[in-house]
Amino acid sequence: MTNIILLGPPGSGKGTQSKLLVEKENFFQISTGDILRKVVNSGSDEGKTLKKIMDKGDLVPDDMVIKMMLNSVDLDKEKKIIFDGFPRNIFQAKTLEKKLDEISMNIDFVIFLDVKFDILEKRIKKRILESGDKDKRTDDNESTLIKRLDVYKELTFPIIKFYEEKGNLYKINGMLGVEDVNNKINEIIR
Ligand code: AP5
């Protein structure tokens, strides 16, 4: 089965493209952002701790996010999996590789959605305006977005080289329209 990682800065379209791949291509999406937000919304003590970290735009500590991801999903060879928002640093990339290796699974395609930073800002601002009170993300504001982008540049961007060296990195112009980006992804994975 085909397994992919969608990699890209905040607002690059990872969630949007995952949704299309789930709907049209029968993929199973693992979004660490969604998993973490569920814990936050539960109101538990752990959720309160996570909220503080996420509202600042920092990464959740590796041990927490890895444990939550593995507890909430069944890494199943029969599923076509999209990893959305994971891995986010070299440690997570190596941990995922080791975990998949143990169960004879692997990542076939790492798809990097390349979007210029000024466009990301515009997209997130648009998302803030369009989302209703219920869907509003507390990390979608100007100062947190700047921090999320800084964290991305420092910790997540270096994993592009990690996958480039492995030979499974594919870069897509994420500034194309949603359907065009989706077509490019399909050209790669088919
Ligand atoms: P997460 O939920 O993963 O958020 P993110 O990476 O910041 O990404 P976004 O969800 O903001 O954007 P996206 O790339 O999915 O774009 P989208 O499709 O929504 O993480 C949130 C937080 O959780 C992190 O800051 C961290 O604290 C924590 N976290 C998560 N994973 C972690 C991990 N592994 N380790 C540690 N901590 C972790 O699109 C954005 C907007 O643009 C939408 O309005 C959309 O309609 C629009 N759009 C999308 N594509 C296009 C297009 N092609 N053209 C025009 N508009 C478009």
CB 172 within 8 Å of CB 30: no
* Residue with CA nearest ligand 1 atom 32: 32
Measured distance CA(71)–CA(37) in Å, rounded: 15
* Residue with CA nearest ligand 1 atom 12: 11
CB 35 within 8 Å of CB 69: yes
CB 80 within 8 Å of CB 24: no
Q: Which two tokens stand for residue 183?
A: 């077509």
pLDDT at residue 1, rounded to an integer:
87
Best residue among 7, 14, 22, 23 to mutate for probing ligand 1's pocket (most ligand atoms within 8 Å of CB) is: 14
* Residue with CA nearest ligand 1 atom 7: 10
pLDDT at residue 10, rounded to an integer:
96
Per-residue pLDDT of the chain (190 residues; tens, 9 = 90+): 899 999 999 999 999 999 999 999 999 999 999 999 999 999 999 999 999 999 999 999 999 999 999 988 888 888 999 999 999 999 999 999 999 999 999 999 999 999 999 999 999 989 888 887 777 889 999 899 999 999 999 999 999 999 999 999 999 999 999 999 999 999 999 9
Nearest to 146 by CA among 9, 6, 50: 9
pLDDT at residue 95, rounded to an integer:
96
- Stated pTM of the model: 0.96
Q: Residues in the chain, how many?
A: 190
Strand (E) or helix (H) holding 26: none
